[in-house]
Every structure is written in C-alpha cells, then in structure tokens.
Structure 1
C-alpha cells in the first residue's frame, strides 16, 4: 500500500446532523477531502452547503456527528482547527477604505506575523495585484476584490481553506479570474473545499464533486465517475449553438490584469468626479 493511500484525509466528516428549531438541514453528512485537492460541494440553494462549512470552520456546532480537519478533532480542539483553516464567505470581506496592500498588512499584523509588509507584497505578486496594491479596495473590480479577499485568507499559510460560493454575483470574466486563483491554491498544496450551485464551476475546478441534496450527500466522485452513473450515451449528430458566455468572452476576450486595472481606474475616476 502506498503512502498516498494511507494518508488521512485533510477533512473527514461522519454523520453530521444539524437542525434549526424543527427544520432539519443536515441529515447525516459523510465526506472525505484528500489533502491538496479541490472538492466541490454542489447543491441548490437551501441544500445545507453553507451550514456544513460553518460547522467545519467551528462557527456552528452540529447536533450529531464528528469531523476532523487537518487531522484535528473539531469537537475536542476547535481552537486548533481554527489555526489550520481559513474561510472566505459568499461576499468579499475587504475594507474598502484601505488599499489592497493595507488590507493584507492589517491581517498579517492581527495574526502576529513577522514582516507584514513583505507578506503583503508577496501575496500581491502571487495574485497579480501588485500594480493595484496602492489603490483603495473600493476602486477594485469584483474579480480583483475577490482575489484580494482570498489572498487575505491565505495569510499564515493555512493548509485548509473553505470557499463558500466564491463567484456569487461576479461577471463571466471575474469568475474566470477566481477560478484561476483557486487552481493555483491547489497546485501549491492547499486543500480547498468550495461550495457552489454552478455546475460549470464544479466541472472546471473540482478533483472530486459531492452532491448535497436535502441534507445528505447523495453521490460523490470524479466528474467521469459521476457521468458513468447515467446510461451509455447514444452518439448522434447535434449542431451545438454557442452559449451567451461563449459569445461574451469571444467579443471581449479573456480577462487580464490590464483589463481589471483599467476597470478599477475608471471606477476611481468616476468616484472622484462624483464628489
């Protein structure tokens, strides 16, 4: 048996249940997330995705069940779990009064880390935000603000990061920016559990996909494994029409740092002119 096969999952969930008053939200969730992988928790609104993430990040206690995060028992040592994780919620939690760099320096200081300025500069470079680092976060585009938010989550190098619907409300270009950022996290060895209701997002990002429905995981596996659950495909010729997203990206091009910088400059100019 290989070392990979014997390695404990970065996240292990067994029988997690949670109800709010008389409403059961999680009805016995089992889930494993391998270290250094991206697992997408896919489900519709109200399926219990955010509730599970809040439990795993120690913001809420389960009614029943157990979980370990980075090998630490969540119930017995919630403080140690918090030291091993970072959580990025559905909306970017950046201080728009501060510059991008100042946001990063602030979090590094709150974590009592040495050389907060150097940490901030390194993360700005990693997330292609160096040119925008000296501007107020209020001038950032949606994609830039979300990338800054994720960069702030990585301060202190947490081995596990939870991303709760990271592209909610973003335009197509900004979504692709965030997807590229998430892929880089896993390439660097970070374990990522993300929740999403977007099927294409799960397809693009996840090593494995877990489908949460009515409070339970009804199926999980790689994309190919899930596809094999359906009957064999009958090959026919179908003329595929481009989607609106295909048309949009073909007309405006793929997002780049220059594009996002230009949009933030225009936003800053507009704000100055309205004063």
Structure 2
C-alpha cells in the first residue's frame, strides 16, 4: 500500500502543471519530514487523475521503469487558510483528506532531446509502456520526463487510460491503436518490438492487481456502474491485461526525426 504521510506545510505551487500541483512538506509520524510534489483531489481534473497516477506509477515500477515513489498525503483543509494566493487557498480547502504525493527529485532537470541521448532499447520500453496505458501526454511539446544523474525518470501519468472516464465504452476504446507520432522519444528510434517481448510477459494479473490495490477506496467509491471500489479495480485489470499482449502491434511510429531538426 501507499506510504501515508501528513502535509504540514505548503511550500509553493508548481504552475507548470495544469492541475496546479504544489510542493509540500509532509511528516510520517515518526519524526521524519520530506518534500513531496502533491496533486490534489480538489483540482479541476478530479480524482481520476490521481487514480491514473497511482496505477501507472505502480505499474511502471513493476516493469523496471524509473518513476518517483508515491505516497498518500493527508491534508487538513485549515492548511490553506493562511495562503495569500486565492486559487491555492481554494484548492487546499477543497482537498481535505487523502491526496497524492510524489517523491521530490532533487536536482532533476527537464528532459531535452537535444541535450540528452536515450538508447533505442530504453526509448522502446517507454513508448511501449505509454502505449499500454494510452498516455497521450509524453509529446515533444511536453515530454513529462526528468533527468537525474544521467537517468531518465517518467512523471505525470494523470492523462492516461482515458477509457476510465466512460467505462461503458472502455473495451472498445482500449482496443484502439496508439499513435506515437509525436512521442518525445521518436528521435531515438525506439525498439518497440524488443520492449514488447521483454515487458509484455511481466504484465500479469498479479502485477495489475497489486497496482490497483494501492488506489485508496475514497477515489473509487461511487463510480457509476460499479457496486464497490474492488469492482472498479477489477475493471482496470481486465482492461489492461489483454491490451498488454497485443498493443505493440497497434503502435504507429513515424521514421525517426533527425535530432536537432526543427519540430
């Protein structure tokens, strides 16, 4: 399950994120304090953004991809009373209870394809993973990747699994191809076939069940068409499991763009 911590101080908003995430300091109840990038249940995108972050982050880690650690961050709405920014104050006041925190990666730099090389194997693994979760938000316009000590880290998966916004059409939506034409790693000639052979067998029912188990009940309760949070969790498993077996056959990739070419 997710580590549980309590937000004790709101440090600053991170305005490059559409949902206005913030940097907070949180305590684990044992005298340890740490910074987290926090995403809020009261943000405009809603709790499904947080559900996607948990499932995709947990799944990525199970596949050996680098993602920040996740935590359930409890927020007392009174923390927002002293915030001078009205938008931030309203966000904190509307996000009482469990929210999502991601480990703050100190010294991280935003990924730039002109400054950082990615080998075809790693590029293939990332593209295959993004196809699995239908991540539409890893383009050259907005890579959502960080570089720490020369290593590539994946962040921001809240726009993934768009089918969970309409479960009635989820099976049809999940069967659609994945267009990777604008993917940030296209210039590196991603080896998707090798990635599929390596990663697809790892996407087992057990791994998926473990990944969805980390989603707090509070973010799943009341989902239309389901009678319990566990029923929603099963829907994620039954949608992702068959997709993992065949999605590599439905990835659209262009010829690699020459590094340094104008986008």
Q: Give TM-score, length-normalised by structure 2.
A: 0.29
CA radius of gyration, larger in = 1
- Give the number of the structure with larger relative contact order, counting CA–CA contacts within 8 Å between residues 6 or more apart: 1
Q: Give TM-score, length-normalised by structure 1.
A: 0.28
